[in-house]
Structure 1
Amino acid sequence: MRIAVYFVLFCTGYAAGESCLSLPECTNTLCKNGFEMHCVDAICTCLSPSTGFSCTTKYECFGNPLHVSCNKDGTNWHCVDSRCRCY
């Protein structure tokens, strides 16, 4: 039984921290509906679709009325690939 518990914990940790150098390497991470897979800082990450607003820093993503819904459940605005994204 103890081995089964360790195995589940190992698999959970592995799935939560899948590393990548490019998007095709993200084979074990699944995103919920409405989110897209990206390789961010060498970690497979589920991001909201791009808002279409360009940015160079995350601070440029704050203050837009369309962005109010991001700040919930521990998510926040980030500038990824020069686009505002919520994760």
Structure 2
Amino acid sequence: MKCIFILLCILGYAWSETCSSASSECRHTTCDSTSELHCIDGFCTCTTAHSVRCTSLQDCLNVADWDCTQNRRHCIDNVCRCARIH
């Protein structure tokens, strides 16, 4: 059973949609109505916005009352966003 799970994870990673810089390249990835599609680190990723404006990633890392782990935080279009899959 563990081998099947590992194999499925590897296949999912191999089939994940990639992008170079623009989310317009993400043709097969869809997000629900509470999130937006962005290209982060070469992968099409759904993100949710926080009410904090930012000029750099550090602004988002400094937010204390946010239910988003540090490694999932991004500053996109001057808004702190939390990547759902990253």
TM-score, length basis structure 1: 0.58
Contact (CA 8 Å) 2:52, 2:80: kept in 1 or not?
yes
Alignment match, 2:58: 59
**Bigger radius of gyration:** 1
What is the deviation of 1:47?
0.8
Q: How many residues align?
A: 74
1:16 maps to a residue whose letter is S
Contact (CA 8 Å) 1:20, 1:26: kept in 2 or not?
no
Structure 1 24/63 Cα, relative in aligned 2: closer, same or farther at 3 Å? closer
TM-score, length basis structure 2: 0.59
RMSD: 2.8
* Distance across 1 between alignment mates of 2:31 and 2:15: 11
Unaligned ranges ≥5, structure 1: 1-8
Alignment match, 1:40: 40
Contact (CA 8 Å) 1:15, 1:28: kept in 2 or not?
no
Question: More strand per residue: 1 or 2?
Answer: 2
Secondary structure (helix, strand or coil) at the match of 1:86 reads strand
Contact (CA 8 Å) 1:55, 1:82: kept in 2 or not?
yes
2:30 maps to a residue whose letter is L
Alignment match, 2:74: 78
1:70 maps to a residue whose letter is C
Structure 1 60/18 Cα, relative in aligned 2: closer, same or farther at 3 Å? same
Alignment match, 1:6: none
1:40 maps to a residue whose letter is I
Unaligned ranges ≥5, structure 2: 1-9
Identity of aligned residues (%): 29
